Amino acid sequence: MTNFCFQSEVNAFDCWKSSMRRTYRSMAGVINIVFTAAMLALAYAFFKNAKPLERSLILLGCIWFPVIQPLIIYGRQRKSIKKMPKGMELAFSDYGMKVQLDGKEENIPWKKLNRVVIEPGMVILFTDAQHGYMLTNRNMGQEREAFLTFLKQHC
């Protein structure tokens, strides 16, 4: 018996949001913030007296992590989303998760799920450290809260 069934429609922006959250929750995110703060302090202290090349490097350092890096990550997500299969359906029951795609299906019991991450706007069900299935609030719609309660009972 299926308790919940959703179409998984993920776009590049969804993947980008998840990637940015992971980055800024890690040590790399802390380093990004410290580097940006240091560059802003450097800009404040030396910008007036800096030569044009030095000013350019200071400005580049100031915008690298808050602007350029997120744009690069978004570009990578756009490329990777093109390789992802379309029309995937995820069904959930007391036995686990069933993934249906192009007439094929795979059953994944609850004990095979590595972890479930509930983020603002999405739920990610990881089958291993690198691979998982993403459901956005758009996919879950009005059933989101009931589905999250169901997940907490089974994971």
What stretches of 12-137 adopt beta strand conformation (E)? 88-93, 96-101, 104-109, 115-119, 122-126, 132-136
pTM value is: 0.80
pLDDT digits (tens, 9 = 90+) for 71-125: 999 999 999 999 888 889 999 999 999 999 988 999 999 999 989 999 999 999 9
Q: Parallel, antiparallel, or unpaired: how do β-strands 96-101 and 88-93 relate?
A: antiparallel
CATH number of the structural domain 2-9+86-154: 2.30.29.30
The pLDDT, as a whole number, for residue 129 is 85
Q: Parallel, antiparallel, or unpaired: how do β-strands 2-8 and 88-93 relate?
A: antiparallel
- How do the domains of the chain map onto residue ranges? 2-9+86-154, 14-83
| Sign for the pseudo-dihedral over CA of 19, 20, 26, 27 | positive
Distance CA 131, CA 2 (A): 23
pLDDT exceeds cutoff 80 at 26: yes
